[in-house]
Amino acid sequence: MPAKPIRVKIRTEQGQTKSLASGTGAFTTPTGAGPDLFLGLGPDPAAAALLTGPGPVRFVECPEFESQMDPKWRHMVPGDWKRIDPEDLDANLVGTSTVRIFRQNASLFPSFWGPILARTTLWAAGIGPRQGGAKRVLFAHGPGALMVLEISRAFSRAGFEVRSLAENVGPEDLVLALRDGCPDLFFSLNFQGLDRFGLNLHLLREAGVVPVTWCVDNPFHLLSGLETAFWRDMIVLTTDAWAVDLLRNLGTRAHFLPLAADSDVFVCQDLDRPPVWDSVFVGRSAFPNRDRFFSGLDVPKALLPEAKALMASGGRPDFSWWLERLGPQSLWPGREVRRAGLGAEICSLGWRSAVLEAVAGAVGLKVVGDEGWKELLGSEVTILPPVDYYHGLRDIYRLSAVTLTTTSLLLPGALTQRHFDVWVAGGCLLTDRIPGLDLFPRHLTDPVSFSTPDEAASLARKLVRDPRRRGEITAAWRETILYGHTYDHRVATILELASEI
């Protein structure tokens, strides 16, 4: 009869309890030829012994894994097998061995195994550090994602060859991309192209590639989906200056980098056409996939009236406010941080609806967005279907006397894409007053920012009736943004930060 499988549970690096696979099927298909080299023996070294061929056997084992095994485990390792340290691994040893890997290594103790698996994978593929040649950037992104075109063009203008990677690229495909030529830089939006255990990150680092990600959404929401702390070994950019110190306290190389404009997409030459609408708002009615993202979480109902009163007085119950009111909690790891996000999202919807209704009562308002707005706003607001970002949105901004925006409370201080695009398109933006506006001088921000729905309505009424003043404001904003806030400027900053690594 076959041996009864050994059932062992272990506490992982992430503090989770996992069952370990056993038997010969717990190891990967062997690669290479020569004496056996095991990277991890699993819970049953006797099963590993069934796979070996003639010749010496070497193995590497994670100390934390071994410390959790029964004392009998050590006696199950054949006495003639040679334990080696990770530092003893090199390209020659890997290239002349039959390499077998315990499949669960990367998910159990990724900080230990990630660099080892990355190095052995690169050695087996014959990939070494970059040796001169054209400057390249690997850009990981989703299909049709916003900002991809703009950022790619900016990298190209900076002299880089841009190669795209799928947002869910696996280690095997990443190795193929690296085999075509190691880039100088890996760049992603919202950690796209990086697996939750960080193996892709280790592959990039071991290949000598500088990894950078730009968090254009709440960075703590993004981190809540990552299992390990690999992100501490890369440059993390955030559009919200408020988050920088918190991210650095978690051990990452965080920097503030706001969004920007792309003159190729939104610059409008016909600036003298009169507007056809009084005001317009463009945006979603809800956080995408909100229910799934926040599943199993709630916020104390007693805090909601307090948050509503704060908004009525011109305050902002944003993500930072909810973090404080909910009390001490871990920003990472885990999903608990999303609870503050849920509170901020609930308040965002109320804030946005209140501002839109106030402006609609003062001037004509068109809302360009999804059907969800029909349930949230009164009948006096006209709901128009969404338009493509690259085809039609520029004209909407230009042909409305004012464009209204309300920033999400999920990002306490971050500017949106509209804070740049509307002005470049020749429009006039009305925005809630947030810390991120400090990026610009007060003489620009004061005439177009509000703190309450009533202020928004009054400001909209005033600017809709004064085209000359609108024109002066738009011209000043447009000049400022094109002079210092395009994606060319942002890519220059990214390259400067990467050069310091």
Are the C-beta atoms of residues 118 and 97 closer than 8 Å to each other?
no
216-249, pLDDT tens digit by residue? 999 999 999 998 899 999 999 999 999 999 999 9
Q: Please, what is the angle between helix 467-484 and helix 453-464, to 10°?
A: 110
Distance between CA atoms of 61 and 64, rounded to whole angstroms?
9
Are the C-beta atoms of residues 164 and 188 closer than 8 Å to each other?
no
Which residue shows structure tokens 């999920």?
410
Distance between CA atoms of 370 and 386, rounded to whole angstroms?
6
**Confidence at residue 3, expressed as pLDDT on a 0 to 100 scale:** 53
Lateral strand order in the sheet of 235-238: 161-166, 136-141, 185-189, 210-215, 235-238, 253-256
68-118, pLDDT tens digit by residue? 999 999 999 999 999 999 999 999 999 999 999 999 999 999 999 999 999
289-338, pLDDT tens digit by residue? 889 999 999 999 999 999 999 999 999 999 999 999 998 888 999 999 99
Residues 6+ apart with CB under 8 A from 450: 355, 430, 431, 432, 433, 456, 458, 459
Strand partners, 485: none
Q: Which helix (H) or strand (E) segment is 114 a member of?
A: helix 110-125
Are the C-beta atoms of residues 40 and 77 closer than 8 Å to each other?
no
